[in-house]
Amino acid sequence: MFEHIHNTLEKIKQGDRRALSKAFTLIESTSVSDHNTILELFAQLKPNNQSKRIAISGVPGAGKSTFINHVVHQLAQKHKVAVLSIDPASERSGGSILGDKTRMQDIANLENVFIRPSSTRGFYGGIAVHTYSSILLCEQAGYEYIFIETVGVGQTEISVQHLCDFFVYLALPKAGDALQGIKKGIMEAIDTVVIHKTDLYDEKVILSTKNMFKESFSFIQSKHKGWTKPIIEHSSVQIDNSTQIISVIKAFFEHLQVSPSHDKIKNRALNVKHLIEHFTKQIWLDKLLANKHYQDQIQRLENSDAKAFYHPVIQAYKIIEALT
C-alpha cells in the first residue's frame, strides 16, 4: 500500500495527468478503503506555497466559466494552470450539472491546463468538501495558477475566501442591481471586481456600476493593507481582452511579497483553521442525519397528528438533548 501511494505521488509530481485524475477519483469516492488511501497519500505531501490560488465568484449568469476560459487561455501560454469548477448538487438526487467544462472549449485541450469539475454534494459555502484536497494535489503536480470557480449562489460564497489567496467577484453592469444582494461580508472578502459582459450594455450603465462599487469600497477597509480593490471591465466575447485582469492578479501577488503586514503562508494556515471549523460542522451534520436514533425521532414527529402545532426550534432542541 505504502509503495503504491508513493509511486502515485511521484507520478503526480512528474506531471502525470492520469495519476492526478485517479487521485481526484479517490478524493471524491465514498468508499472507506479509498478514503483511507487518500489519507495516506496526503500524509506524505509536503506543502507547496509557490502556487497562486484564485477564486472566481459572482451572481448566477455572470459568465464565470466564460471569464475563466478567456483568462486561462492567455495565462496558459506561459504557465501551468488548473481549473477546479464546482457545480451545485441537487438536494434530492445528489446529482450536479457539471457542465462548466463545455463552456471552456478554448482551454479544455491545452497541454498546460487541467480542468476538473466537481459537485458540492449539498455542502454550503460555494465549495465542495474535497476542494481543498484538490488544490493540494494540483500544487503537487506543479500547477502555478489554480482557479476555483464557485457555484454562484450569493452570500454563502463567502466561505471560498478561505481557499484562495485572491478573490475575484464577477458582476453584471446593471447599476443598482449590481450591488443588490451583495452583503458586506462578500464586499470585505473580495480583492477585485470584474464587471463582465460589458459588450452587452451601454457605457453609461457600466460607468454607473463602477462608481457604485467604488463608493461601496470606500466604506470598507481592505483585508490586505495597501491594496486598493480594482474595478475592471471585461467583455464576454473577446478572448484576447484579459490582459488587464492578469496584470491585476500579478500585481496583487507582487504586493504580497513586498507588504510587511501580510505573509501568504500564515494567511493560508489561518484559512485552514476556518476550513476545519467549516467542514467539521458539515461532516457532523451529515453524521447526525444518518444517525438511526435521529431518524427515529423525525419519524415519530412525522407520524404525530399534532405535528402542525410543533415549534421546530423547540423540537430540534429536544432531539439534540435526546441524542446527547
Reading the chain (324 residues) residue by residue, the pLDDT tens digits are 556 788 889 999 999 999 999 998 888 887 888 888 888 888 888 888 889 999 998 877 888 888 999 999 999 999 999 999 876 553 443 444 445 556 677 898 899 999 988 765 545 554 666 888 899 999 999 999 999 998 765 545 667 888 899 999 998 887 455 565 566 778 888 999 999 999 888 999 999 889 888 888 888 887 888 899 999 999 877 656 688 999 999 999 988 887 766 667 778 888 888 888 877 887 888 888 888 989 988 888 888 877 666 788 888 888 888 887
Residue 116, helix vs strand vs coil: strand
Query: Closest Cα partner for 135 from 32, 266, 272?
Result: 272
Q: Is residue 267 part of a domain?
A: no
Q: With contact defined as beta carbons under 8 Å apart, do 190 and 223 qualify?
A: no
Is the domain of 67 the same as that of 202?
Answer: yes
Q: With contact defined as beta carbons under 8 Å apart, do 55 and 160 qualify?
A: yes
Is the domain of 99 the same as that of 9?
Answer: no
Listed residues 216, 234, 260: the one ending a domain? 260
Is the domain of 285 the same as that of 246?
Answer: no
pLDDT value, residue 176: 56
Alpha-carbon gap, residue 247 to 261, rounded angstroms: 22
Is the domain of 294 the same as that of 234?
Answer: no
Alpha-carbon gap, residue 77 to 243, rounded angstroms: 12
Q: Is residue 268 part of a domain?
A: no
CATH (domain of 33): 1.20.5
Is the domain of 206 the same as that of 231?
Answer: yes
Residue 89, helix vs strand vs coil: strand
Query: Closest Cα partner for 141 from 285, 41, 244, 236?
Result: 41
Per the structure, the complete domain to which residue 315 belongs is given by 275-323
CATH (domain of 79): 3.40.50.300
Is the domain of 132 the same as that of 41?
Answer: no
Tell me the one-letter amino acid at 129. Answer: V
Tell me the one-letter amino acid at 225. Answer: K
Alpha-carbon gap, residue 72 to 145, rounded angstroms: 9
Is the domain of 36 the same as that of 60?
Answer: no
**Residue 135 burial by CB count (10 A; 0-12/13-18/19+): exposed, middle or buried?**
buried
Alpha-carbon gap, residue 43 to 320, rounded angstroms: 35
* Whole-prediction pTM: 0.84
Q: At what angle do helices 17-28 and 32-43 cross, to 10 degrees?
A: 130
Is the domain of 77 the same as that of 197?
Answer: yes
pLDDT value, residue 90: 39
Number of domains in the chain: 3
- Rounded alpha-carbon distances, angstroms, from residue 254 to 16, 251, 271: 30, 5, 20
Alpha-carbon gap, residue 105 to 69, rounded angstroms: 8
Q: Is residue 269 part of a domain?
A: no
Is the domain of 103 the same as that of 220?
Answer: yes
Is the domain of 104 the same as that of 62?
Answer: yes
58's grid cell? 459572482
Q: How far is CA 24 from the centre of its chain?
A: 16
Residue 31's contacts (CB-CB under 8 Å, 6 or more residues apart) are none
Q: Is residue 265 part of a domain?
A: no
324's grid cell? 446527547
Is the domain of 165 the same as that of 243?
Answer: yes
Alpha-carbon gap, residue 206 to 195, rounded angstroms: 8
Task: Return the C-alpha torsion angle 267, 272, 275, 280, nearest 10.
Answer: -150
